[in-house]
Amino acid sequence: ILEELVQLRAENANILGFDSHADYILAIRMAKDSATVRNFLDDLNAKLEPLCQTDLKKLLQYKKKECEDTGEEYDGVINMWDFRYYVDKMEAAEYNIDQEEIKEYFPIDVVTTNLLQIYQDLLGLTYEEVPLNEDGTAWHEDVSLFS
């Protein structure tokens, strides 16, 4: 169904004289064409790249210090699995942000229910919770699985 929708959108855009569905949508909105969006994104990227590099250097400093403190070997790389950990450390140290305190305002059961409801409404999907063990739980009491 999704592939057919994409194809029909492309055909509709072509009939109306546009190169793509994206160009059609942009023309009726504020950007007008995909080249304008591309230029905007390129400009934004050029402005944000130095900030990204600055933050990356900070993250590497946090990792280096932790490696020195724990006697671990420092590899000079922020791996994908390191990223959130060191971002949290940097936010706590430099901006006084406590992720655990923020979590208090977003209870997992409320967030999960509402997030799944949004996807159900947008995509016409239905989610049901799936128990994994005979006792109706997953491998840990905090884990939920939806199908």
Span 59-67, average pLDDT: 97
Task: State the Cα–Cα distance between residues 97 and 85, nearest whole angstrom.
Answer: 13
Task: State the Cα–Cα distance between residues 36 and 27, nearest whole angstrom.
Answer: 10
Task: State the Cα–Cα distance between residues 129 and 142, nearest whole angstrom.
Answer: 13
Task: State the Cα–Cα distance between residues 66 and 71, nearest whole angstrom.
Answer: 8
Among 65, 60, 50, CA closest to 82: 60
pLDDT tens digits, one per residue of 6-50: 999 999 999 988 999 988 888 888 777 888 889 999 999 999 999
Tokens for 24, please give them: 């059609």
Predicted local distance difference test score (pLDDT) of residue 30: 76
Q: Does residue 129 carry a pLDDT above 80?
A: yes
Percentage of the chain beyond pLDDT 90 is 69
Predicted local distance difference test score (pLDDT) of residue 29: 82
Q: Does residue 142 carry a pLDDT above 90?
A: no
Task: State the Cα–Cα distance between residues 117 and 137, nearest whole angstrom.
Answer: 22
Among 42, 38, 82, CA closest to 59: 82
pLDDT tens digits, one per residue of 65-94: 999 999 999 999 999 999 999 999 999 999
| Beta pairing partners, 129 | 146
Task: State the Cα–Cα distance between residues 107 and 95, nearest whole angstrom.
Answer: 23
Q: Does residue 136 carry a pLDDT above 70?
A: no
Predicted local distance difference test score (pLDDT) of residue 132: 76
Task: State the Cα–Cα distance between residues 109 and 97, nearest whole angstrom.
Answer: 23
Task: State the Cα–Cα distance between residues 51 and 15, nearest whole angstrom.
Answer: 43
